């Protein structure tokens, strides 16, 4: 059976394998099996060209966001943002800059998240070439605002704190992890001490905290973990604790929470918590 991969997928592989300079892919290796694949890629398809196409449904986003392209992409995105006149382009470039840690478009991101500015979802322009491009703004969350939150957090600009805290204030014991994840990640990236007390209050809410166990005999009946609310509750608690730790902690609550999970018999949760505690030690060094 022969399968044809989408052109954009092959283009991404070419750029990944040859540092963005390849004009085609000769061989694709998947799972140790070599398959002859030939895909023409425009030799002029540079980072500068991709920056121009971003407002068209995030075409070429897989090139812009590659770490090795960061140094050349950020100045190009900054110039494009400054020169943009239509709302879709302004928002696209503000988002892209934020995701790459540049605060040039922070005011636009704040207005988008606060509702003062209406979001223009340029995914509607997407022609279907690449899932990676379609997912740039919502980052897997299904909600365009989730991408805005993450971009705002990654700017590490204190001006974004209040609007992110407004989003955090919506969290309660009934809020699913999927809706908590992005604001927690954003606040974790922001790392602002002003978020510590609000995060601690949220984490301490009844029903939000207290889901770690020490003894395997205290685990819920088989069938809950990994299949339903148990995973959701635990990941929600850990994500808030991670954010709190990154913001300086509050009366030791984040460390106590993560330490409880670090000794949890559920290995995946234990490793997740230990990773967060390890990251903190790494940052201190």
When pLDDT is cut at 50, 70 and 90, the band that residue 265 belongs to is: confident
Both tokens assigned to 160: 């974004």
Both tokens assigned to 267: 């290995």
Average pLDDT on 168-190 reads 95
Closest CA to 88 of 108, 72, 61: 108
Highest mean pLDDT among 11-25, 46-60, 190-204: 190-204
Residue 45 clears pLDDT 80, i.e. is over it = no
* Backbone dihedral angles phi then psi of residue 33, each to the nearest 5 degrees: -105, 125
When mean pLDDT is compared across 116-120, 219-223, 254-258, the lowest value belongs to 219-223
What number of helices (H) and strands (E) belong to the chain? 14, 2
How far, CA to CA in Å, does 207 sit from each of 14, 129, 273? 48, 43, 19
Closest CA to 138 of 155, 119, 156: 119
Longest Cα separation, the chain: 62
Packing angle, helices 161-168 and 144-155, rounded to 10 = 140
Please, are residues 277 and 259 in contact by the beta-carbon 8 Å criterion? yes
Residue 115 clears pLDDT 50, i.e. is over it = yes
Proportion of the chain above pLDDT 70, given as a percent: 71
Closest CA to 206 of 173, 176, 171: 173
* Backbone dihedral angles phi then psi of residue 39, each to the nearest 5 degrees: -140, 125
Both tokens assigned to 252: 């030791």
pLDDT computed for residue 127 by the predictor: 47
Average pLDDT on 223-246 reads 83
Give dist(CA 72, CA 68) in Å, integer: 9
Going by C-beta distance under 8 Å and a sequence separation of 6 or more, which residues neighbour residue 19? 68
Going by C-beta distance under 8 Å and a sequence separation of 6 or more, which residues neighbour residue 37? 5, 10, 25, 26, 27, 28
Closest CA to 123 of 48, 178, 55: 55
Both tokens assigned to 256: 């106590």
* Backbone dihedral angles phi then psi of residue 40, each to the nearest 5 degrees: -75, 130
When mean pLDDT is compared across 5-9, 226-230, 233-237, the lowest value belongs to 5-9
* Backbone dihedral angles phi then psi of residue 30, each to the nearest 5 degrees: -125, 120
Give dist(CA 262, CA 274) in Å, integer: 5
Residue 128 clears pLDDT 70, i.e. is over it = no
DSSP state of 120: -
């Amino acid at each position: 059976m022969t399968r044809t991969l989408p052109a954009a997928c092959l283009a991404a592989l070419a750029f990944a394998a040859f540092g963005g300079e390849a004009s085609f892919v000769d061989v694709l290796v998947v799972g140790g099996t070599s398959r002859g694949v030939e895909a023409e890629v425009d030799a002029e398809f540079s980072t500068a060209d991709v920056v121009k196409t971003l407002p068209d449904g995030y075409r070429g986003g897989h090139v812009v966001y590659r770490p090795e392209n960061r140094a050349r992409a950020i100045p190009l995105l900054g110039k494009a943002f400054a020169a943009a006149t239509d709302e879709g382009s302004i928002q696209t470039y503000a988002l892209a800059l934020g995701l790459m840690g540049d605060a040039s478009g922070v005011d636009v991101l704040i207005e988008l998240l606060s509702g003062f500015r209406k979001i223009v979802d340029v995914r509607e322009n997407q022609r279907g070439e690449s899932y990676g491009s379609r997912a740039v703004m919502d980052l897997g969350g299904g909600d365009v605002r989730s991408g805005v939150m993450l971009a705002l957090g990654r700017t590490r600009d204190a001006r974004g704190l209040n609007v992110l805290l407004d989003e955090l204030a919506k969290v309660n014991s009934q809020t699913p992890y999927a809706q908590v994840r992005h604001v927690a990640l954003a606040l974790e990236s922001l790392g602002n001490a002003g978020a510590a007390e609000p995060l601690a209050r949220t984490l301490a809410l009844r029903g939000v905290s207290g889901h770690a166990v020490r003894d395997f005999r205290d685990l819920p009946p088989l069938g809950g973990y990994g299949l339903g609310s148990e995973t959701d509750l635990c990941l929600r608690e850990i994500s808030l604790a991670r954010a709190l730790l990154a913001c300086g902690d509050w009366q030791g609550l984040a460390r106590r929470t993560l330490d409880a999970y670090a000794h949890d018999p559920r290995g995946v949760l234990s490793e997740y918590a230990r990773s967060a505690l390890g990251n903190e030690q790494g940052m201190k060094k």
